[in-house]
Structure 1
Amino acid sequence: MISFTSAQLNLWIAAFLFPLARIMAFIATAPILSNRQIPNRVKIGFGFILTVAIAPTLNAPVDIEPGSASGMFVLLLQILVGVAMGFAMRLVFTAIEMAGEIAGLQIGLGFASFYDPQRASFTPILAQFLGVIAALAFLTMDGHLYLIAILAESFKTVPIAATPPSAHAMHTLALWGGSIFAFALQLSLPILAALLITNLAMGILSRSAPQVNLFAIGFPITLAVGFIILALSMSYFAPLVDQFAHNGLDTMQRITQQMKR
């Protein structure tokens, strides 16, 4: 007859529950994995599979009961670590979508928006287009595998314990959040520069030939110039996505290293 004590039961629950909390929080916030088009059952099942694969390699805290106050505190810490890691990588795709939104407004596509299931709201079409291209490029470079590898490595860098993360790691995450504006500007700068020159040319034209109806020809010109520059700059889009993705992965590793006091 197989018998076990309550201490052994608490140890088994803790060895599975705490890693599961971090993994599920990461899946809920990380790009690609958190896509709303993926059914929740698939996400939960994928989280359980990762936990089953990772949990046996970890040293569970033997002095923490999952149902105690300290156990709930550790559970919240694991959720915080997972959310911070996933959010750091999510900002890269937010910057790309922000670049598409800025460029779309300048081109004149601000009125053209579709329902985005990822955000559960209406998003400009150019932002959705760049977001889909970035997601495909990220999958092509095996970015999702790097995400899982960094997640598994985080359990060694930040072991499961009742020690809160350092404020320096949160400060790094805040600074990284501010960098999305610089990334978005870098991506949309060719279109913004070309449209600025186009608007200056049309302004000079309106002064030299007041009889020209700029309201009739201005929108087709800006639309055509914007699409031409977008088509020409797409060859440089994949290297920028690769650079931003590696910056995001490096930031994830740096945040997990700084969380350890």
Structure 2
Amino acid sequence: MTIEAGEIVVWVLVFLRTGAFFLGIPLFAGKMIPVRIRTAFGLLLAILINPLVPANLELATHFAGAILLAVNEVCIGLLLAMTVRMVFFAVELAGHMISYEIGLMASNSVNPLLGSTDATITTLLYYFSLLIFFVTGLHYDVLKAFIMSFEILPIGAFFLKANPTLEFVNEVNHVFIIGTLISAPFIALNFMVNVSFAVLGKAVPKMNVFMTSFSIRILAGLTLLVSSLLLITSYIVDNGRRSVEVMLDIIQNG
């Protein structure tokens, strides 16, 4: 059994796309998962799907063309991964806004998965969204969409859209919309607490409004957070499914 040079080139290009994808998707993007583990997952997926991948290696006959194809595959993998991560960026943004509104912005905790220090609410919501992502089977949909990307944009093909980044920019805009929608009840809660204690401070001048309102804001905010978990779950699931569609649409030629 002989292996032709073209087959090796195709496998390397497939591995570059899968490797870049696993470097960027949630769970594998953090510092807690060693690079070797992420690379191994990308290598395994590349081996499994390589026989099914269509390829056009006209440019690979030249060194400059091969480098261009390699960069193209890495960019595609990272773009698809970032599209999925947009859901988690929205949750993290909402976590920061919620922490600010209920007065827990100074309460920080280490996120071992990402290797960063964030507000406690942000870290909790990130792990909650990650749990929902796997429990609802969204990771299967993401992997299926990623494999379909080789049919939509085969190895050796390039974006034909005039401006493929426009949809990605729209996704960034969508992150702020979803983050604001999730945190909107907490913004309203903070407003009502401030107005209530402003009136109470005028009625009872000797009352320590600041300390009392601080405690009430935290208690009411945590209560609202627990009661809003179902709503947050629906946002995560809906936008997770939407991200799967965007993954394929953002690389769709034509």
TM-score range, shorter chain: over 0.9
- Of residues 189, 203, 215 in structure 2, which corresponds to 1:220? 215
- Of residues 76, 99, 105 in structure 1, which corresponds to 2:100? 105
The alignment's TM-score, normalised by the length of structure 2, stands at: 0.94
SS in 1 for 2:110: strand
Match for residue 14 of structure 1? 9
Match for residue 90 of structure 2? 95
Match for residue 154 of structure 2? 159
- Tell me, yes or no, if structure 1 residue 141 matches structure 2 residue 136: yes
| 1:201 positional shift | 0.2
| 1:3 positional shift | 6.7
| 1:181 positional shift | 0.8
- Of residues 234, 239, 243 in structure 2, which corresponds to 1:244? 239
Counterparts of 1:66-105 in structure 2 under 5 Å? 68-105=63-100
Match for residue 192 of structure 1? 187
Distance in 2, Cα, partners of 1:237 & 1:105: 18
**Deviating 4+ runs (over 6 angstroms):** none
Q: What is the aligned-residue identity percentage?
A: 22
8 Å contact kept, 1:13–1:66: no
| 1:116 positional shift | 2.2
- Of residues 118, 122, 126 in structure 2, which corresponds to 1:127? 122
Distance in 2, Cα, partners of 1:216 & 1:155: 58
- Tell me, yes or no, if structure 1 residue 253 matches structure 2 residue 239: no
SS in 2 for 1:256: coil
- Per the alignment, do residues 83 and 163 of structure 1 end up closer, same or farther by CA in structure 2, a change over 3 Å counting? same
| 1:81 positional shift | 0.8
8 Å contact kept, 2:24–2:82: yes
Equivalent residue letter for 2:149: S
The alignment's TM-score, normalised by the length of structure 1, stands at: 0.91
8 Å contact kept, 1:70–1:162: no
8 Å contact kept, 2:90–2:178: yes
| 1:118 positional shift | 4.0
- Per the alignment, do residues 208 and 166 of structure 1 end up closer, same or farther by CA in structure 2, a change over 3 Å counting? same
8 Å contact kept, 1:14–1:61: no
8 Å contact kept, 1:14–1:60: no
Q: How many residues align?
A: 254
- Per the alignment, do residues 70 and 115 of structure 1 end up closer, same or farther by CA in structure 2, a change over 3 Å counting? same
- Of residues 198, 203, 218 in structure 1, which corresponds to 2:198? 203
8 Å contact kept, 1:16–1:55: yes
CA deviation digits over 1:164-206, x for unaligned, max 9?
4534321101111111111001111112111211111011111
Structure 1's unaligned 5+ residue stretches are none
CA deviation digits over 1:7-47, x for unaligned, max 9?
x32x1221111111111111111123323322222211111
Distance in 2, Cα, partners of 1:195 & 1:129: 20
- Per the alignment, do residues 253 and 197 of structure 1 end up closer, same or farther by CA in structure 2, a change over 3 Å counting? same
